[in-house]
Amino acid sequence: MNKFPFGKLYKQSISKKFIKMVNTIDMQDMRHLNLFGKITRVNTRFCLKYNGTLIFCVPKSLVQKAVGENGKNIKQIGKILGKRIKVVPKPRGIQDLEYFIKVIISPVNFRELEVKDKEVIVNAGAQNKAALIGRNKRRFFEMQNIIRNLFGKELRIV
């Protein structure tokens, strides 16, 4: 027996709503953003997780203010949360994609980045490809989530 009289129509609308809600912020991210704002006096709504590091995206003109003198703000946040912290300039669009990915995945490098209609293809060597994918594809899924949320594209590593 079907609980919903609309059947397939109801299921389709739920899946469309879920796709739109991918950019939601969970409570943990909200706490991180709140702490970041209180310590640095720079408000942002972009808190990303990659490889055990919290990455905050702020406007390019406010990066220095967010980091603080000699990195004191970042050190303080890292000490409170017990995690590594990075502050990167918020990408203004697809033109900043390559630089944005390089900053996030450093010290790992890639050969080239190609942007197609609905996907981003990262070309890396064998050693770097393994580092980008990570054990059980953990880093790959984290990066894919970041690119999907910020740029609305899928990630492929070759």
Last residue of a domain, one of 37, 67, 90: 90
CA–CA gap between residue 89 and residue 46 (Å, rounded):
11
User: Considering the domain boundaries, does residue 113 fall inside one?
Assistant: yes
pLDDT tens across 100-131, in order? 999 999 899 899 999 998 899 999 988 899 99
Residue 2 lies in a domain: no
pLDDT score recorded for residue 13 = 43
**Does 144 map to a domain?**
yes
- What is the model's pLDDT at position 26? 83
What is the domain count for the chain?
A: 2
Torsion of CA 21, 22, 23, 25, to 10 degrees: 90
From 40, 63, 90, the end of a domain falls on: 90
User: What is the rounded distance in angstroms from the CA atom of residue 101 to the CA atom of residue 110?
Assistant: 10
- On whether residue 157 sits in a domain, the answer given is yes
CA pseudo-torsion sign 91, 96, 101, 103: negative
* Residue 145 backbone dihedrals phi, psi, to 5 degrees: -65, -40
Q: Is residue 5 situated within a structural domain?
A: no
Q: Which of 73, 90, 107 is the last residue of a domain?
A: 90
Token look-up 């972009």 returns 46
Domain carrying residue 130: 91-158
Residue 27 CA to its chain's centroid (Å): 16
Q: Residue 117 and residue 152: Cα distance in Å, rounded? A: 10
The answer as to whether 128 is a domain residue is yes
Q: Is residue 95 one of the residues assigned to a domain?
A: yes
| Rounded average pLDDT over 17-42 | 78
For residues 97 and 144, state if they share a domain: yes
Model confidence band, residue 11 (pLDDT cutoffs 50, 70, 90): very low
**Quick check: bond before 107 cis, omega within 30?**
yes
Say whether both 57 and 97 belong to one domain: no
Give the domain CATH number at 136: 3.30.300.20
Are 82 and 95 found together in one domain? no
pLDDT tens per residue, range 32-61: 999 999 999 999 989 999 999 999 999 999
Q: What pTM, to 2 d.p., does this model score?
A: 0.79
Same domain assignment for residues 51 and 109: no
